[in-house]
Every structure is written in C-alpha cells, then in structure tokens.
Homo-oligomer: A and B are copies of this chain.
Amino acid sequence: MTGEQESEDLYPSRQGVHQFSARQDPTVYAPRGSVAPVSEQQINDYAEQGFMVLEDLFSAVEVKMFQQELERLRNDAAVKQSGETITEPESGEVRSIFRVHENSPLFRKLAADPRLAELARYILNDNVYIHQSRLNYKPGFRGKEFYWHSDFETWHTEDGMPRMRALSMSITLTENFDYNGPLMLVPGSHQQYAACAGETPENHFQASLKKQEYGVPSDDQLKQMVDSGGIVSAKCKPGSVIVFDCNVMHGSNGNITPEPRSNVFFVYNALSNRVVAPFCDQPPRPEYICSRENIMALPVAD
C-alpha cells in the first residue's frame, strides 16, 4: 500500500454541493520574525489579501528576452503540435504553452531565479519545485475570458495536491491595463475553501483549459466573496510579478482591445506537498500539466 492511497481528503469538492469550509493551512509558512526577501508589509498584505504585486522586478532588457522567447515558442510549429499547447476556442490562436520550465532554457533559468524562488521558499518554508508552468498569451481583439476559480480546487481534486502549500507567480510580459483583461483577484478569498458542485468529467483538462465549466464557484458563492472582499485588477507594467496564493479566487475578462496580455506563469509547490493520487474518480492529468514523476527541488542560491 502506498502513501498515495491513504491520503485523507481535507478539501473535498465536486461532490454535489457548493459550500464553503475554513482553510486548514497557513498562507505564510515562514516562522514569525524570520527575515523575508521582500518587506514585512508586503508579507503581511500577502497573508491577509492572498496576493501581492511586485512592480518592475525584471528590467526592460530581461522582459525583452522573455518576449522574444515567447514569440519563438508561439511560432514554433513543433510546439504548437506538441499536444502541450492550448488554443483559443474560436480563433485557434495560441492561448497557453505548458512546461516551459523544462522546454525553454531561458524559462528554466527564470523559474529558479532567486528573485522568485527565494520568495517562494520563504512563504512556503520548504524547498520548492515547479508543479506547473506555462506561457499565457491572451491575444488582442478576440481573447476570451478565464472564469473565476481557485487553482487549488483543481490541483487538489484533479492532481491530488494534499494541502494549501503552493503559490503562483505570474511574470507580466506586456502591460496589464485595466482594459485588456488583467488578472482580477478577490482579496481575502483564500481564507475559505469554496467546494464546487458537479463531478469531474473524463479528460476534463482538455476542455477546462479552454473554458472552465466545472470546478468553478456558484454565482452565490462568488457574490458572497466579492461582497466581502471586493475585486482588485492587477494593473502593472511588463516585468512585474503577481504572487498569489493557490486558493485565492481569481479570473480575467476577455480582451477585445488590440493589446495582447501575456505572462509567464510558474506554480511553486512545497517539496513536502507533492501530489498524491487525485481526489476524484479520474486518472491523473498528464505530466505537462502536473509534475508527478519529474520532481526536482529548485537549487538554493549560495
């Protein structure tokens, strides 16, 4: 019998009812009083709101390199046909490219960059590895929305991530205006777990990455969270980093403006929080969406 099969489901979801339950894990795992790689105020805000925005963390030259790498990957026929690239439901344009922390030398290096990885290690108080990585390219003119969701709800249910001990970092590669579908977050929503109704359909990930219909909150749940916390649009310049907890409710509107909204996105998970068997009756999602076999702790800087 393996450890996987014995895991208790602390965050059940998709069992027929929409309901809230209390978060059973800390948001910031670092011991009180330890020195953070960002300001104490930023860490406190993160603990309270569930996210923080680090403006201008990367220089214009670095952003330029990331953008060029994004263009290279977008125009690479092999990448488009790899089966690890998601296209827009209507236009067929590239929407997301997965596993860039393995497939791109530049983004492999970026994932381990101490400006990101040290902060992840601090917040999670553990060694970290990349649970998922991707380039999101929300095209102008016809970019579709990402509906509201908690990442953890999916990672827990479909991937078997046991606890809330993971976070995402979105490095912005184009300006995020208020009008080109910026990331919207509900402050404080990470403190509750919004269990979703419905089951998990077979091969759900193939549809959900284009348009999520399961694993999303009910209208009432969302309204309650927004009534309590409001909505923040993460407007920022290229080279900023939006750091957000795995359970914060977030989404983004579509984008009819000519300004694309692109970012590179890494999920850092605590090494002690490796995925087990999924908490639903479906086989695990493929390795390019969820690191299961290929786990490597990111090296700690000297």
| Residues of chain A whose beta carbon lies under 8 Å from any beta carbon of chain B | 140-141, 145, 147-148, 177-179, 181, 184, 219, 222-223, 226, 231, 233, 251-259
Contact A258 B178, beta carbon cutoff 8 Å: no
Q: How far is the CA of A145 from the CA of B140 in the complex (A)?
A: 13
List 17 A-B pairs, Cβ < 8 Å: A141-B219, A147-B256, A177-B231, A178-B178, A178-B179, A179-B233, A179-B253, A181-B253, A184-B257, A219-B258, A226-B257, A226-B259, A231-B257, A253-B255, A253-B256, A253-B257, A254-B254
Query: Of B145, B178, B231, B256, which is within 8 A of A251 by CB?
Result: B256
Interface pair A231/B147, CB less than 8 Å apart:
no
Take A178-B178, A179-B178 as given contacts and tell me if A145 and B233 are in contact as well, using a CB distance cutoff of 8 Å: no
Q: How many copies does the complex hold?
A: 2
Are B254 and A222 in contact, CB atoms less than 8 angstroms apart? no
Residues of the B chain whose Cβ atoms lie less than 8 Å from the Cβ of A145:
254, 256
Instruction: Tell me the complex Cα distance, A177–B178, Å.
Output: 10
Write out the residue numbers on chain B whose beta carbons fall within 8 Å of the beta carbon of A226.
257-259
Which of A223, A226, A257 gathers most chain B CB within 10 Å?
Answer: A257
Q: Find chain B residues with CB under 8 A from A184 CB.
A: 179, 256-257
Q: How far, in angstroms, from A231 to B255 measured CA to CA in the complex? A: 13
Chain B residues contacting A252 (CB-CB under 8 Å) are 256
Q: Is the CB of B257 within 8 A of A254?
A: no
A222→B256 CA distance, assembly (Å): 10
CA separation between A149 and B157, bound complex, in Å?
43
Which residue from chain B places its CB closest to the CB of A222 in the assembled complex? Answer: B258
Kindly name the residue among A145, A177, A179, A233 whose own CB sees the greatest number of chain B CB atoms within 10 A.
A179
> Which residue on B lies nearest to A227, using beta carbons?
B258
Residues of B within 8 A of A257 (CB): 184, 226, 231, 253
Kindly state the separation between the CA atoms of A270 and B140 in the bound complex, as whole angstroms. 36
**Would B258 and A141 count as touching, CB distance under 8 A?**
no
Q: Which residue of B lies closest to A252 (CB)?
A: B256
- From B148, B223, B254, B258, give the contact of A253 (CB < 8 A): B254
A185 to chain B, nearest CB (A): 11
A199 to B148, CA, bound (A): 38
Contact of A258 among B179, B223, B233 (CB under 8 A): B223
Q: Which of B177, B222, B233, B254 contacts A141 (CB 8 A)?
A: B222
Of all chain B residues, the one with the shortest Cβ separation from A223 is B258
Contact B147 A233 (CB under 8 A): no
What is the CA–CA distance of A252 and B179 in the complex, to the nearest angstrom?
9
Q: How far is the CB of A24 from chain B (nearest CB, A)?
A: 27
Most buried by B among A233, A255, A258: A258
Which of B148, B223, B233, B259 is A178 in contact with, Cβ under 8 Å? B233
In the complex, the chain B residue whose C-beta lies closest to that of A147 is B256
Q: How far is the CB of A256 from chain B (nearest CB, A)?
A: 5
